[in-house]
């Protein structure tokens, strides 16, 4: 039987409606959640993603500010800018759109962001806190994927999750999030031998490589859940994932499309983290009450 296609837009919009309510409650307390996005250079893909983030902020009532800089900005000027935003109380979340030009050290920039404003969840403090199970901003794409899989109502404990890809922003952390949910996790990457033999064992297969058509029916066990994190822009301008959709949909039980799968969830979790950052900054709990620490 053909797979059920997971609608990321629908799931995202349900979650955004909830977030809009939470923003409204914060505004009633005189708090306007604010996200500042830093965009360096003029990569068209980055500009397009940033536009999507701003539109989503507007949709739930988060104030978003875009700061753009030429690709020639020096590292120290960028660090100075971040420092200024760290000290600005009206800014709850800071996002530096990646990738950055080669002359700028990305890790240095990420480390300059105050961990309590790091709504991407990329700062080593947040990564470490996530690893040991402390409260932390979870990276948006992995968090969005977990949210999607949980929304299917299946029990993750004991499932074999196979992650293809080991980037710091998707592959590595998504495996950790599923490990936290008691899955058995296997990582595959470019040096893995006999990829298909391993991916074929997956109950949940998460593909985050960035290579169009990498995964086909031969990689997927009958009835597996397949999450496609690839964002590959084809020459004809169309966006496609890492998974051969038409083939895999005949084998999988659930499959995410590209576009309209993981992407919208990523942005939604960014909104979630920004609302959380605003609440934390003002010592407000999830029920909208000020905690005793005031």
Is residue 34 within 8 Å of residue 64, measured between CB atoms? yes
Candidates 41, 52, 115, 210: give the one binding ligand GUE (CB under 6 A). Answer: 52
Tell me the C-alpha to C-alpha distance, in Å, between residue 251 and each of 146, 186, 199.
21, 21, 13
* The one catalytic residue among 97, 159, 176, 228: 97
Is residue 29 within 8 Å of residue 284, measured between CB atoms? yes
* The one catalytic residue among 120, 203, 228, 242: 120
Q: Does 47 bind ligand GUE (CB under 6 A)?
A: no
Q: How far is the CB of 230 from ligand GUE (least distance, A)?
A: 10
Which among 84-92, 128-136, 243-251, 259-267 is the span making contact with ligand GUE, rule CB under 6 A? 259-267
Asked about 97 being catalytic, the answer comes back as: yes
Asked about 42 being catalytic, the answer comes back as: no
**Beta strand residue intervals within 123-197, DSSP E:** 160-164, 184-188
Q: Does 245 bind ligand GUE (CB under 6 A)?
A: no
Measured CA to CA, the distance from residue 69 to residue 50 in angstroms comes to 14
Q: Which is nearer to ligand GUE, 31 or 231 (CB)?
A: 231
Asked about 53 being catalytic, the answer comes back as: yes
- One symbol per residue from 262 to 291: x for binding ligand GUE (CB under 6 A), - otherwise; what is it? -xx-xx------------------------
Candidates 259, 280, 282, 288: give the one binding ligand GUE (CB under 6 A). Answer: 259
Q: Which is nearer to ligand GUE, 97 or 176 (CB)?
A: 97
The two structure tokens encoding residue 102: 């080669």
Candidates 4, 48, 72, 150: give the one binding ligand GUE (CB under 6 A). Answer: 48
DSSP string, 274-291: HHHHHHHHTTB-TTS-B-
At residue 257's C-alpha, the angle toward residues 165 and 97, to 5°, is: 55
Measured CA to CA, the distance from residue 15 to residue 8 in angstroms comes to 11
Closest residue to ligand GUE: CB criterion: 263
Q: How far is the CB of 274 from ligand GUE (least distance, A)?
A: 12
Three-state secondary structure along 28-50?
HCCCCCEEEEEEECCCHHHHHHH
Q: Which residues are catalytic?
A: 53, 97, 120
């Amino acid at each position: 039987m053909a797979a059920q296609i997971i609608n990321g837009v629908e799931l995202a919009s349900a979650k955004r409606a909830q977030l809009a309510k939470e923003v409204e409650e914060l505004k009633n307390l005189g708090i306007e959640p604010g996200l500042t996005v830093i965009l360096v250079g003029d990569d068209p893909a980055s500009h397009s993603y940033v536009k999507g983030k701003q539109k989503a902020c507007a949709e739930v009532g988060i104030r978003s500010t875009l700061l753009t800089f030429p690709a020639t900005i020096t590292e120290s000027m960028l660090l100075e800018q971040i420092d200024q935003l760290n000290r600005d109380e009206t800014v709850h979340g800071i996002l530096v759109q990646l990738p950055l030009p080669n002359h700028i050290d990305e890790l240095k920039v990420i480390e300059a962001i105050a961990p309590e404003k790091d709504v991407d969840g990329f700062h080593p403090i947040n990564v470490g806190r996530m690893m040991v199970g402390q409260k932390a901003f979870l990276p948006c794409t992995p968090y969005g994927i977990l949210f999607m899989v949980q929304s299917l109502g299946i029990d993750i404990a004991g499932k074999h999750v196979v992650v293809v890809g080991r980037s710091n922003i998707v592959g590595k952390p998504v495996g950790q999030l599923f490990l936290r949910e008691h899955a058995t996790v296997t990582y595959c990457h470019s040096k893995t031998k006999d990829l298909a033999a391993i991916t074929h064992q997956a109950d949940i297969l998460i593909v985050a490589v960035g290579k169009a058509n990498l995964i086909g029916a031969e990689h997927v066990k009958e009835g597996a859940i397949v999450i496609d994190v690839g964002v590959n822009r084809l020459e004809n301008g169309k966006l496609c994932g890492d998974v051969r959709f038409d083939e895999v949909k005949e084998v999988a039980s659930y499959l995410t499309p590209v576009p309209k799968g993981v992407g919208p969830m990523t942005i939604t979790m960014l909104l979630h983290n920004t609302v959380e950052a605003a609440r934390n900054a003002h010592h407000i709990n999830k029920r909208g009450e000020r905690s005793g620490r005031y």
